[in-house]
């Protein structure tokens, strides 16, 4: 199919994926409406914000790697687009990442991971602990190994989503604070508590909320093929005392007795520490998670003990059975874009670009076969 570059599009969902998609579409001349009762309040609000196609690598998730690398490469273009249309800061930083090990077993893990990353074409540089501490003097002297990943960057998610909203509004995107109840995949009509909205194309980018929006029957399906699950992650926010600024100048990730930890310096003088991973129904930060994060963060960066504790929160990320997103067309009127799990911030640039290409009827810039929204259709929930 082919769609004109000035068609009307409804984006259901105003997390980072939906917002960036709206900006991308509006910048190309599409008339865009965004529906969300509480923009930027879901997983995007609690995210770490690391743009880490190398450091975020997980064993045996090879289909994800080209998506991560492509999105990382496209991110500067998305940042530039947003900056053209707003003065709200994005929190974008490009100092790179250090990955460190706390003990000998962690050093072996880090060495094996670096080999795996290099095997898949990622830029990873092994450095000494002394070199790591020269770059970040407050790191623990007891660390056993270190790796530098210069290509990894970050955004500050709460600033980033605010910048995306501002840019979208400047581009003429209309926002309605209402929740979608159903989407007619045949007609492009979205039914909400505030009434019906209609457009030539609809993008379902509602994260976990996509589970509660009916659309499958209108696409000729007996049941929804989207098998989304909530994966919670506890994350902490600390204020760094003036006398310790800057506590870090770049993201530091670590392994402490094989437990992953990350510490993210923010431009507002705070430090983010995360994140646990748990699949339960507890939507708030748990004492055990807070304890383990502070314990492991202090092993890597002892000065964490001197920071002011500001916030412990938990975000629910939309996971899928294979941890790959659902991104693709399911009818002439409906594109699905959800299920980005732990990589939602990183994959934002890919989601925005490829969704726009799907809307315009052009070939996506990268093969999306592994992301088909229909791939779990025959599986039982």
Around Cβ 305, how many Cβ atoms within 10 Å? 9
Residue 3 has pLDDT above 60, yes or no: no
| 102 domain-assigned | yes
Which of 294, 317, 340 finishes a domain? 317
Report residue 95 as tokens. 């100092």
Strands, sheet with 334-338, edge to edge from the N-terminal-most edge strand: 174-176, 31-35, 8-12, 201-204, 334-338, 326-329
Say yes or no: 272 and 302 in one domain: yes
- Is residue 32 within 8 Å of 11, Cβ to Cβ? yes
| 143 domain-assigned | yes
Say yes or no: 14 and 33 in one domain: yes
| Mean pLDDT on 141-153 | 95
Looking at per-residue pLDDT, the higher value among 279 and 146 belongs to 146
Say yes or no: 313 and 232 in one domain: yes
Residue 166 has pLDDT above 80, yes or no: yes
Question: Which helix (DSSP H) or strand (DSSP E) does residue 337 occupy?
Answer: strand 334-338
Whichever domain contains 327, its CATH number is: 3.50.50.60
What pLDDT was estimated at residue 128? 97
Say yes or no: 214 and 232 in one domain: no
CA distance 42 to 325: 17
Residue 379 has pLDDT above 70, yes or no: no
Average pLDDT, the chain: 94
The pLDDT confidence band at residue 373, using thresholds 50, 70 and 90, is very high
| Mean pLDDT on 48-56 | 88
For 39, the 3-state DSSP assignment is coil
Say yes or no: 162 and 300 in one domain: no
Say yes or no: 305 and 351 in one domain: no
Residue 252 has pLDDT above 80, yes or no: yes
| Mean pLDDT on 8-15 | 98
Q: What predicted TM-score, i.e. pTM, was given to this entire model?
A: 0.94
| Mean pLDDT on 230-246 | 95
| 70 domain-assigned | no
Give the count of domains, the chain: 2
E strands along 246-332, which residues? 251-256, 259-265, 270-274, 308-319, 326-329
| 87 domain-assigned | no
pLDDT single digits (tens) 320-365? 999 999 999 999 999 999 999 989 999 999 999 999 999 999 999 9
| 68 domain-assigned | no
Say yes or no: 208 and 233 in one domain: no
**Comparing 40-44, 105-109, 133-137, which segment has the lowest mean pLDDT?**
40-44
The percent of residues above 70 in pLDDT, for the chain, comes to: 97
Residue 4 has pLDDT above 80, yes or no: no
The pLDDT confidence band at residue 144, using thresholds 50, 70 and 90, is very high
Which of 290, 317, 344 finishes a domain? 317
Say yes or no: 331 and 218 in one domain: yes
- Is residue 364 within 8 Å of 7, Cβ to Cβ? no
Say yes or no: 137 and 167 in one domain: no
What pLDDT was estimated at residue 380? 42
Say yes or no: 108 and 251 in one domain: yes
| Mean pLDDT on 47-52 | 90
Residue 284 sits in which domain range? 96-149+228-317
pLDDT single digits (tens) 96-116? 999 999 999 999 999 999 999
| 64 domain-assigned | no
Strand 31-35 relative to strand 174-176: parallel, antiparallel, unpaired?
parallel
Dump the DSSP string for 342-371. Answer: GGTTTTHHHHHHHHHHHHHTPPPSS--GGG
pLDDT single digits (tens) 281-312? 888 999 999 999 999 999 999 999 999 999 99
Whichever domain contains 264, its CATH number is: 3.30.9.10
| 75 domain-assigned | no
Say yes or no: 42 and 170 in one domain: yes
Say yes or no: 102 and 34 in one domain: no
| 25 domain-assigned | yes
């Amino acid at each position: 199919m082919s769609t004109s570059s000035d068609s009307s599009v409804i984006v259901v969902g105003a997390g980072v994926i939906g917002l960036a998609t709206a900006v991308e579409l509006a910048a190309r001349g599409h008339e865009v409406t965004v529906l969300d009762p509480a923009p930027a309040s879901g997983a995007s609000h609690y995210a770490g914000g690391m743009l880490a196609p190398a450091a975020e690598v997980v064993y045996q998730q090879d289909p994800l790697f080209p998506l991560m690398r492509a999105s990382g490469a496209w991110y500067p273009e998305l940042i530039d687009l947003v900056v053209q249309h707003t003065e709200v800061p994005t929190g974008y930083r490009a100092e790179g990442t250090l990955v460190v090990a706390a003990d000998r077993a962690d050093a072996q893990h880090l060495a094996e991971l670096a080999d795996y990353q290099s095997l898949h074409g990622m830029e990873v540089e092994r450095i000494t602990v002394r070199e790591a501490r020269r770059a970040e003097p407050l790191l623990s002297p007891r660390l056993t190994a270190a790796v530098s990943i210069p290509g990894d960057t970050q955004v500050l998610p709460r600033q980033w989503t605010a910048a995306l909203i501002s840019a979208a509004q400047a581009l003429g995107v209309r926002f309605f604070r209402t929740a979608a109840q159903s989407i007619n995949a045949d007609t492009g009509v979205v039914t909400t508590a505030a009434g019906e909205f209609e457009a030539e194309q609809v993008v379902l980018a509602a994260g976990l909320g996509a589970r509660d929006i009916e659309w499958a029957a209108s696409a000729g399906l007996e049941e929804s093929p989207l098998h989304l699950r909530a994966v919670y992650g506890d994350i902490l926010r600390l204020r760094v005392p003036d006398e310790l600024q800057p506590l870090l100048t770049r993201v530091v990730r670590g392994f402490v007795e094989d437990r992953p930890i990350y510490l993210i310096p923010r431009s507002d003088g705070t430090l983010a520490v995360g994140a646990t991973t748990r699949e339960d129904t507890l939507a708030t930060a748990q004492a055990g998670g807070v304890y383990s994060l502070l314990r492991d963060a202090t092993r890597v960066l002892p000065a964490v003990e001197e920071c002011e504790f500001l916030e412990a929160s938990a975000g629910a990320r939309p996971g899928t059975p294979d941890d790959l997103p659902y991104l693709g067309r399911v009818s002439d009127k409906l594109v699905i874009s959800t299920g980005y799990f732990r990589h939602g911030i990183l994959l934002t640039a890919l989601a925005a670009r490829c969704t726009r290409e799907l809307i315009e009827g052009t070939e996506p810039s990268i093969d999306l076969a592994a992301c088909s929204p229909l791939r779990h259709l025959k599986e039982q929930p």
